[in-house]
A and B are shown apart, each in its own frame.
Chain A
Amino acid sequence: MAGKSRFYWRTEDLVVVGLFAALAKVVSLAIALVGGGMNPFTLFLKNGVSTALLVVLVARVGRFGVLSLQLFVTHMVSLLMFGGGMISFLPALAIAILCDGAIALFGGYRRLAAVIAGVAMYDLLLRGVSIGMSMLSARENAGMVMMAAVMIVPGYFGCLLVGLPFGAKFVKELRHAGIVRNV
């Protein structure tokens, strides 16, 4: 007898996405405060934690378009709060939609392996957007672009070595605890 909502996104999904966006911001800030912003290890850990949170978010919501929604919300936050990120918004959104499609293709949101593959791809491609943005804003100085490219490496290692395996592990644990039920 459950009433059918007229919306694709349930209130619960939207609230979880908003809360995880807030959590990711606070955790990144906390890690940067402890270790210093541009420290490679801080970048490694910060990205690891953010990716682990993203995996949990995707597994919890478990609906097509969750990566796009998450990207949309985090970009809207930067857009509205800092008035920046206009140019990177569209390519990043396209990547998120592509990765949502990839998850669906790899077996859907109920398969943890598909979620992990989708998030790994998403993280990698978003880094491409970051380099693209650096190329645009520092196009006269190859050195600065190179520096930006180098800076994203520890972050991606954090994502691969910490974020994805731990994200998968935590999803399994949260499923065992009855908190995540989709995967």
Chain B
Amino acid sequence: MSLVWVPLLAPFLAVPAARRLADALAPRRAAALLVCVAVGLAGCAAAALALLVIPGASYLPWVAAAGELLTPLTDGPPAVTVGVSVAAAGLLGASAAAVTVRLLGHRADLRDARAQAGAVHGELAVVPDARPDAFALPGRPGRIVVTTAMLRALEPGERTALFAHERAHLRGRHHLLLAAVDLAARCHPALRGLRAPLGYALERIADEAAADAVGDRTLAARAVGRAALAGGPAPRPRTVLAATAGPVPRRVAALLGREMGARPAPRLRRAVAAGLLLCLVTTGAAELSAADTLHAHIEVAQGERP
């Protein structure tokens, strides 16, 4: 039964590998990789917890009756089996509750925002506000919410780039990808580390769409840069490593065709990719093997096998 722990530990190795790999990939591929890794590993972790719950649950008379079990399922000391099972059930319940709360929260947020945006005609909702801000509000139709301060901070061409950027978010339904990874992060704490890289990859996708729409990468870069500078520095410096540039300078550099920091060597990149693939395959195989072992134990307990 020890293989069942693999899917619970794999995210601690897979997440750093996926982050490094996403850094080296084109934005679209990076986003696809991060979403697949997050959702896949979250599913495996939840399934592993379920596999841990079942042996302990077989000590309950009604579970044994429902499963037509003659003896409880166990290949270890009953106290350990039951203890692990109770802990796994607690974690599984907590994850399910966190995912449900989050899902309802997302739905409520969007419903409120949509109900209020319903009065706005057209795709643009302008907010009279002295703080420069802009974001895409998903829905059917999606809307672009922008403050007057942001409109005033940009030149007409830069505003076109900003709108094209937000339209790319809406067209690509990027909020669904963000929500999927956000929900996955509720299933396993290590998966939280995939949210920021996904956010960055989606901004890069939208930046590239904006550059295409205005036909000028420098103009798109200036739109991003000036919008960020208009907001001024953060009131309290963010506690990020001083050596790493924040997402906005990295986006601007990418649009301008500048390299920021050394890209990992192709060999290292391939090694990281191979490591990640191995980690994911091992996780899936361990999950199947653990399920198969449990199935065998059930057959034994049902008296179908000696």
Chain B binds chain A: no
